[in-house]
Amino acid sequence: MEDKNNAIPRHIGIIMDGNGRWAAQRALPRSAGHREGARAVQRTLQAAEAMGIKYLTLYAFSTENWTRPREEISTLMELLEKTLTEYQKSANKKNWRILISGERDRLPAAILAKMDSLVQATAQNKGLTINLALNYGARQEITHAVNRLLKEGIQTITPQDISLRLYQPEIPDPELIIRTSGEERLSNFLLWQAAYSEFYFTEVLWPDFNAAELQKAVADYRARRRRFGGI
Ligand code: IPE
Ligand code: IPE
Ligand code: MG
């Protein structure tokens, strides 16, 4: 029988949302939700690799998240720094390649230094590519691409000219974008690349996300019919 299912997605984008609500449900501080969210990231990376997914873009901190209370921002930055340090130890063993997408301004120098050495140290790895969207905003990304084109003196631009100047031009567009916590919006995530992505929304809060949830999302995606404007 002909298999009408889509193949396993090569690239999945995840909007990891709901850490604060997870903590609130347990009468814990929001920082506890972020810590548990970091564990969910580790589980998800293992699961994605086991499923044969090649690229994972994780929305870790948006350009709009700077509007949060200073204390929460420092918790998030501490966790990010810790995560980067862990990757520094484990990424090469696992053959994972780390990329970072976002603006550099406002990020603490210690994080920038860790980001740079991690990207460099894992550049040749051929396993799972983890693209961390960190201080990321899709409108900023597109604006950045257009500004580069202006500097190059190009008069007329094509969509491909823009695509080639996004943060990670060599990564295919995500076939699937997952958002946890019941919110159904993009919140400035991958606006350009999501033109034909499938969306999967789940009520599960990010700290509760795991391999079974990822498998559910992928199974749902595989059963869909993608038309790309055709019939
Ligand atoms: C996602 O969880 C983590 C980040 C945005 C950094 P939230 O912190 O947004 O959690 P909720 O949406 O308040 O539950
Ligand atoms: C989106 O979540 C950003 C990240 C997951 C990093 P938010 O919680 O910031 O989004 P809104 O404010 O609900 O749209
Ligand atoms: Mg949120």
Per-residue pLDDT 10s for the chain (231 aa) are 446 799 999 999 999 999 999 999 999 999 999 999 999 999 999 999 999 999 999 999 999 999 999 999 999 999 999 999 999 999 999 999 999 999 999 999 999 999 999 999 999 999 999 999 999 999 999 999 999 999 999 999 999 999 999 999 999 999 999 999 999 999 999 999 999 999 999 999 999 999 999 999 999 999 999 999 999
Q: Which domains does the chain have, with CATH numbers?
A: 11-222 (3.40.1180.10)
Q: Which of 20, 97, 24, 84 is nearest to 55 (CA)?
A: 97
- Which of 14, 15, 16, 21 to mutate for ligand 1's pocket (most ligand atoms within 8 Å of CB)? 21
C-beta of residue 63 within 8 angstroms of C-beta of residue 103: yes
Torsion from C-alpha of 137, 188, 142, 173, nearest 10 degrees: 110
Torsion from C-alpha of 183, 186, 187, 189, nearest 10 degrees: 140
The three-class DSSP label of residue 131 is strand
- pLDDT tens across 165-196, in order? 999 999 999 999 999 999 999 999 999 999 99
How many C-beta atoms lie closer than 10 Å to residue 47's C-beta? 19
Q: Among this protein's residues, is 161 annotated catalytic?
A: no
- For ligand 2, atom 2: residue with the closest CA: 17
- Predicted model pTM: 0.97
Question: CA 82, 88, 94: angle at the middle one, nearest 5?
Answer: 120
Contacts of 29 (CB under 8 A, 6+ apart): 23
- For ligand 1, atom 12: residue with the closest CA: 18
Contacts of 73 (CB under 8 A, 6+ apart): 65, 66
Q: Among this protein's residues, is 17 annotated catalytic?
A: yes
What integer pLDDT is reported at residue 3 of this predicted model? 62
Distance of alpha carbon 25 from alpha carbon 43, whole angstroms: 22
Distance of alpha carbon 7 from alpha carbon 219, whole angstroms: 10
Compute φ and ψ for 189, nearest 5 degrees.
Answer: -105, 125
